[in-house]
Amino acid sequence: MIHRQTLARLVGDLRARKLSSVELVRACLERIEASQPALNAFISITAEQALDAAQAADRALARGDGGPLAGVPIGHKDLFCTAGVRTTCGSRMLENFVSPYDATVVERLKAAGAVMLGKLNMDEFAMGSSNETSYYGPVRNPWNTDRVPGGSSGGSAAAVCARLIPAATATDTGGSIRQPAALCGVTGIKPTYGRVSRYGMIAFASSLDQGGVIAASAEDAALMLREMAGFDRRDSTSVDTPVPDYVAGLDAPLEGLTIGVLKEFFDEGLDPDNERCLREALTVFTRLGAGVREVSLPNISLSVPAYYVVAPAECSSNLARYDGVRFGHRCESPRDLQDLYKRSRSEGFGAEVKRRIMTGTYVLSAGYYDAYYLKAQRVRRLIAADFERAFGEVDMLMGPATPTAAFPLGAKVADPITMYLNDIYTISANLAGVPALSIPCGFARGLPVGLQIIGPHFAEQRLLQAAHRYQLETDWHLRIPERFA
Amino acid sequence: MTKSSAASSADGAGRPEGRGAGTGSGTEWETVIGLEIHAQLATDSKIFSGASTAYGAAPNTQACLVDLGYPGVLPVLNAEAVRMAVRFGIAIGAHIARQSVFARKNYFYPDLPKGYQISQYELPIVARGAIDIVLDDGSVKRVGVTRAHLEEDAGKSLHEGLPGVTGIDLNRAGTPLLEIVSEPQLRSAKEAIAYMKKVHTLVRYLQICDGNMQEGSFRCDANVSVRPRGADKLGTRTEIKNVNSFRFVEKAIQYEVARQIELIESGGAVVQETRLYDPDKGETRSMRSKEEANDYRYFPDPDLLPLMLDEEYIEAVGAELPELPDAKAARLMAQYGLPAYDAGVLTASRELADYYEAVARAVPAQAKLAANWVMGDLSAALNKEGLDIGEGRMPAERLAGLLTRIADATISGKIAKEVFEAMWASGDSADRVIETKGLKQITDTAAIERAIEEVMAKNPAQLAEYRAGKDKLFGFFVGQVMKATGGKANPAQLNELLKKKLPE
Amino acid sequence: MYDFCTDFRFLDGTLMALTRAQVESIAHLARLELEPAEIPAFQDKLSRIVDFIGELERADTAGVAPMAHPLPGLSQRLRPDAVTEADEHDLYQRNAPQVASGLYLVPKVIE
């Protein structure tokens, strides 16, 4: 079955003309359509454009041309702007928004020959950890459809998990790639802040947002990231350093590398079943020749409260542009300007987005700025310094991606804090801007468990290499839920 | 006149200008003004986008995705806007921040597409400079410039011809602005205008702003308060928004000062608020829509890293600064022997000063004469037709040609005015006008003598009277000879010859 | 399994509550309209969040500079002053709820 092939294999088969892109895209589209009632992974399916692009890819391949990903079907998280295609950001606010331009990531993957099949479901404006805040309905976990897939890139993780597509773009502001990747048992990488252009990626929290990939394996993620990463003159926070060939470095041995086990992450909050999987995974790395030692990041416990100041603050400002004037939802017959603003925004945004906007408005307002916003930014520096110190001692850090495996839908909606704490292990990497990935490392009561690997700035290659070596030794990443096998 | 105005001090401080029907409580009031000048920087593209900044385009045709605040787009700072801000900072002797930060000022308004304005708050690019102004009595006052920061302009709201709705044109959104904030050290509307004019001159010298006030390229908000003379504490201020001419700024301040004094003297209190000047009514009024207390929630813009400038960059920008007005005026005085007044007038704009110098260089011996002509006849002619000096109607070498002919006595100063008018109308050179109109001065003694003799012959009665001692008639003979020669007789020669001939 | 919530103050009844008026004023600043009936729920959840982020208080940050950006030491990149954008207002206004003669329309703004 072609859907079971890795992206790496598909690239080869397409180039060798063992398989046509049209054939592959048709097969994927069928699987997507069939999965929608159960998973709801896609907000928009762009079958027609996809088939056109597949034909073009086949023609290019026939000529011996085509980019590195020619003909490969992918999906984009629905916050990457796609020219001429609806881009909703999971919100009613942008229900009818058709982007006039392509995000840089979209443009690059297009140039590499990848074929977009549709736009993936997500938490509204990427605010959520369970995909339950999407205006377009929750995404369900392919391993157990009563469970959440994680968020905010829940559609991306579920679609790859169910092998509807071999890879998908995603974004990570506080764990939105790694947490759903962990809960769905797939590989997800959040690169260093500035590695992937944010141009055209609808902003949640600009100093934390980073685009990345969810794929079935580290090798597949490397293939995608190699095309996505790099300097973009349209994003002045993107970094102008050369992009290494992530694929070429995958096979390098791990001997001589030191892994720091994050002491604070193995706390009482970690589910014992998850911990068992993680400890086992660490022994694999020891077998592979890496040194393993415990490392402490003393300020890490403050990362969640710091994040829930910084991210809402930035979001409250980033989402002010949705005012019903130039694009987006506008209320019926506004009485006056204030009514236009207030009703358009209240109707367009869901409850979680409103809460975050209000939290951010509060922490930035006169009298609270110093106590919350500035304090959080100081704490942020402490956390970044913790990482810097740790990376002076070890080459990478390992720990859990999430405290537990996927939880049932509805379990954490009532209390925002319970939901926020689900990101307790992922948030610190965003605050410090360091790269991190999650790979599947076992199952807890039938649900996947994610191992998180965190590296110093721009060490994506090392993270992918470690993940790849691990995946050569294990087969967790090859497991597919029976229903979608 | 109230007691307070009569008691105003020599530096012009403390006049409650445009005083209305005050009760004259006897309190001496001191006016305190600080100006916030918004100068649009003369870049080709916007501060954070590649859209054009050209004025007058059809609505929203110069508003790109970044200017519209579209989802997903990001600002990228224009290097030229930075360079212009640094030029200004160096010119006013300010500190140029090695690290400055862009911040978001958050508020909702239809002409503000993102719901925030990108500005600078805690760490502006320019801080602590000074500008010297000349007061009426000729003394120089140094006015502190607290800061100058980069920010983006907003769009425009249009109300006319749209019943029940407001139209939003975002062409102006994202135009780079340098906001220049003075210390509250201005003590009268006159000082405020002198300061504003000086800034206006300076930004044009630096070629960082076209200074066009009609198009809104140079605008001013005035913070105005009054306090009893001698008080340490500042009074409650009001902010007069967006006044776009020197005259209106002066009138608005005068009105506002009078209003505040009257209010306080009649037992009321000034409310801190934003006010709008209505030029038709000549008064300021409260802007209701902005009355609501704003909480701008400034924070560093996470889309923009800190702006770091190194010594090398700042030195390079400094090295390419043009000669500035004060230095130029001092040089004109030293080099051409001009009085301070002339030097001040001629350096009001770089173009005028350049023009003057081109003329003066061509006729170095007539530098003062050149100044008189440039400030006098030429300026009058330009004003009359609403032309700028730079428009080339009277190139410097052509005016210099005229002055050369005055200097070498080819024409008299009086004839020169006629020649100038002809040159202005035709675009011809002075020599050509003199030639075709036959205005060349008569310096041939014999010819002048012949003319004198004819006049004497025609006016025997007057001649007799003169000879009988009526000296006043000398002028009559000068006039008659001039008339006979078509005004071309060399006046000095004519005088001399008449003095010799008449008594004979 | 461990429940995180027990670790945080809001369960011992010392919740730092936001008043209804505060919630209303924040909503107004953010230009959000809350139905009277939904205010108590927002009040409750925002109070929990405010209480939770109050945890930051315990951090010793004396002498620590705020960090607004995750890549320290980098300077802002500038672009050359060049007009690169063409007039695309027809395309851009396709997403606009109400336009006329190239203008975006809003209810009358009174100054």
Chain B, nearest residue to C110 by Cα: B289
CB pair distance less than 8 Å for C92 and B169: no
| Measured distance CA(B222)–CA(B241) in Å, rounded | 7
| Residue B388 to chain C, least CA–CA distance (Å) | 27
Residue A481 falls inside a structural domain: no
Taking an 8 Å cut-off on Cβ atoms, the answer to whether A239 and C66 are in contact is: no
Question: Does some domain include residue A185?
Answer: yes
- Give A336's contacts in chain C (Cβ within 8 Å): 107-108
- Using the Cβ of B314 and the Cβ atoms of chain C, whether some distance falls under 8 Å is answered with no
Considering only residues 22 to 41 of chain A, which have any Cβ-Cβ distance to chain C shorter than 8 Å?
A: none
- Say if the Cβ atoms of B71 and A202 lie within 8 Å: yes
How is chain C split into domains, by residue range?
A: 1-58
Domain covering C1-58 in this structure, CATH number? 1.10.20.60
Q: Which residue of C has its CA nearest to A362?
A: C26
From the CA of B305, how many Å to the nearest CA of chain A?
7
**Does residue A33 lie in a domain region?**
yes
Closest-CA distance of chain C to residue B349, Å: 26
Q: Return the pLDDT at C111.
A: 61
Size of interface A-B (CB pairs under 8 A): 98
Domain shared by A177 and A311, yes or no: no
Beta partners for residue B284, in sequence order: B277
For chain B, list the contacting chains (3+ Cβ pairs, <8 Å).
A, C
∠ Cα B311 B313 B314 (to 5°)? 65
Residues A141 and A221 in one domain: yes
For chain C, the straight-line distance linking the first and the last C-alpha, in angstroms and rounded, comes to 59
CB proximity list for B161: less than 8 A, separation 6 or greater? none
**In a domain? residue A327:** yes
* Residue B289 forms contact with C (CB below 8 Å): yes
Both A229 and A357 in a single domain? no
Which residue among C89, C93, C105 sits closest to B165, beta carbon to beta carbon? C105
Q: How far apart are CA C91 and CA C85, in angstroms?
A: 13
Burial, C108: exposed, middle or buried (Cβ in 10 Å; 0-12, 13-18, 19+)?
A: middle
Statement to judge: residues A330 and A217 lie in one domain:
no
Cβ contacts (< 8 Å) between A198 and chain B: which residues?
Answer: 74
Which range of residues forms the domain containing residue A323? 301-377
Nearest to A236 among B77, B104, B116 (CB): B77
- Mark yes or no for CB contact B159/C109 under 8 Å: yes
pLDDT, tens digit (0-9, with 9 covering 90-100), for A295-350: 999 999 999 999 999 999 999 999 999 999 999 999 999 999 999 999 999 999 99
Identity of the residue in A340, A354, A372 whose CB atom sits nearest the CB atom of C106? A340
Does A36 lie in the same domain as A147? yes
What CATH number does the domain containing A165 carry?
3.90.1300.10
Contact A375 C56 (CB under 8 A): yes
Name which of B46, B53, B60 to mutate to probe chain C: the one with the most chain C Cβ atoms within 10 A of its Cβ. Answer: B60
Residue from the list A103, A205, A313 with its beta carbon closest to the beta carbon of B72: A103
* A19, A10 Cβ separation under 8 angstroms: yes
Q: Do B302 and A206 touch (CB under 8 A)?
A: yes
B165 contacts on C by Cβ (under 8 Å): 98, 105-108
**B134 Cβ under 8 Å from any chain C Cβ:** no
Chain A segment 229-288 residues within 8 A of B by beta carbon are 233-237
Question: Which residue of A202, A236, A365 is in closest CB contact with B297?
Answer: A365
Give the catalytic positions of A in this structure. 77, 152, 176
A221 and A305 in a single domain? The answer is no
Chain B CB contacts of C83 below 8 Å: 44-45, 50-52
- Residues whose CB falls within 8 Å of the CB of residue C25, separated by 6 or more in sequence, listed in order: none
Residues 61-100 of A with CB under 8 A from C: 96-98, 100
Residue identified by tokens 């991306």 is A156
CA–CA gap between residue A137 and residue A38 (Å, rounded): 11
Q: Among A358, A377, A396, identify where a domain stops.
A: A377
Cβ of B297 within 8 Å of Cβ of A199? The answer is no
B residues 83..102 contacting C (CB < 8 A): 101-102
Closest chain B residue by Cα to residue A316? B106
A183 lies in the same domain as A76: yes
* Residue numbers in chain A where pLDDT is lower than 50: none
Task: Give the 3-state DSSP-derived string for B206-275, with helices as H, strands as E and coil as C.
Answer: CCCCCCCCCCCCEEEEEEEEEEECCCCCCCCCEEEEEECCHHHHHHHHHHHHHHHHHHHHCCCCCCCCEE
- Strands of the sheet containing B102-106, edge to edge, are B116-120, B102-106, B299-300
Among B72, B113, B166, the residue with its CB nearest the CB of A200 is B72
Chains that touch A (3 or more CB pairs under 8 A): B, C
pTM score of the predicted model: 0.90
- Token output for B225: 């308060």
For residue B104, the chain A residues in CB contact (below 8 A) are 317
Report yes or no on A430 lying in a domain: no
Q: Which residues in chain A are contacts of C78 at CB distance < 8 A?
A: 236
Would you state the pLDDT for residue B487? 81
As for how many domains chain A has, the answer is 2
Check residue C1 and give its pLDDT.
Answer: 35
The reported pLDDT for the residue numbered B287 is: 82
Domains and CATH numbers, chain B: 3-293 (no CATH), 322-437 (no CATH), 445-501 (1.10.10.410)
C31 contacts in chain B (CB < 8 Å) = 108
Select from B61, B289, B306 the Cβ nearest to the Cβ of C89.
B61
Identity of the residue in C29, C84, C100 whose CB atom sits nearest the CB atom of B167: C100
Q: B305: which chain A residues are within 8 Å (Cβ-Cβ)?
A: 236-237
- Helix/strand/coil percent split, chain A, to 5: 45, 15, 40
Closest CB to A198 among B74, B298, B304: B74
To the nearest 10°, report the CA torsion of B341, B344, B345, B346. 120
Tell me which chain A residue has its CA closest to the CA of residue C42: A355
Q: b/e map of A260-280 (b: 16 or more CB within 10 Å)?
A: bbbebbbbebbbebbbebbee
Query: Which of A377, A392, A412 marks a domain boundary?
Result: A377
- Closest chain B C-alpha to A469 CA, distance in angstroms: 36
Instruction: Sort out which chain C residues have CB atoms less than 8 A from A237's CB and list them.
Output: 69, 71
Note whether B74 contacts A: Cβ–Cβ < 8 A. yes
A243 and A308 share a domain? no
| Selection from B483, B163, B213, C96 nearest residue A323 by Cα | C96
Q: Is B213 on the interface with C (CB under 8 A)?
A: no
Instruction: State residue B501's pLDDT score.
Output: 86
Residues of chain B where predicted confidence (pLDDT) is lower than 70: 1-25, 288-293
Residue of C nearest to B101 (CA): C76
Q: Helix (H, G, I), strand (E, B), or coil: what is residue B181?
A: strand
Tell whether A79 and A206 lie within a shared domain: yes
In chain B, which residues have their Cβ closer than 8 Å to the Cβ of C30? none
Give yes or no: residues A200 and A64 share one domain. yes
C-alpha B301/C-alpha C36 separation (Å) is: 34
Give residue C88's pLDDT: 98
pLDDT at C11 over 50: no
Measure Cα distances from C34 to A329, A331, A413, B399, B476 in Å. Answer: 17, 15, 19, 73, 95
* Residue A390 within a domain: no
Rounded CA separation C80/A430 (Å) = 31
If asked whether residues A370 and A310 sit together in one domain, one would say: yes
Q: Which helix (H) or strand (E) holds B31?
A: strand B29-40
Q: What's the confidence (pLDDT) of residue B388?
A: 85
Write down which residue in A321, A345, A377 finishes a domain.
A377
Q: What ipTM goes with this model?
A: 0.97
Q: What is the pLDDT of residue B435?
A: 84
CB A418 within 8 A of CB A412: yes
Cβ–Cβ below 8 Å for A239 and C71: yes
User: How confident is the model over A60-70, as pLDDT tens digits?
Assistant: 999 999 999 99
